[in-house]
Amino acid sequence: MTEPPTKAADYAAGDLEEIAKRAEDYWATGFLVPPSSIDLYVVAIKALARERKR
């Protein structure tokens, strides 16, 4: 049996910031989410990272 996918709660703030940066860098390729949703995705991930830093 394989392990379940990692949950957002398992990521540290720095990990989330890196994911957001990669998403911004690769928005045109559809990395992680469709290009039309990338702005919202990046904002959400950055907000979660800020909350984790608190």
- In the chain, the number of structural domains is 1
Domain range for 49 is 8-53
Q: Is residue 43 part of a domain?
A: yes
Q: Is residue 36 part of a domain?
A: yes
Q: What mean pLDDT is predicted for residues 3-16?
A: 75
Q: Is residue 3 part of a domain?
A: no
What's the pLDDT at 38?
Answer: 77
Percent of the residues in the chain that have a pLDDT greater than 70, as a whole number:
78
Q: Is residue 31 part of a domain?
A: yes
pLDDT higher than threshold 80 for residue 43: yes
Q: Is residue 19 part of a domain?
A: yes
With 0.85 as the threshold, say if the pTM is over it: no
46/20 Cα distance (integer angstroms): 6
Q: Is residue 38 part of a domain?
A: yes
Residue 2 or residue 48, greater confidence: 48
pLDDT higher than threshold 70 for residue 28: no
Q: What mean pLDDT is predicted for residues 17-42?
A: 75
Q: Is residue 47 part of a domain?
A: yes
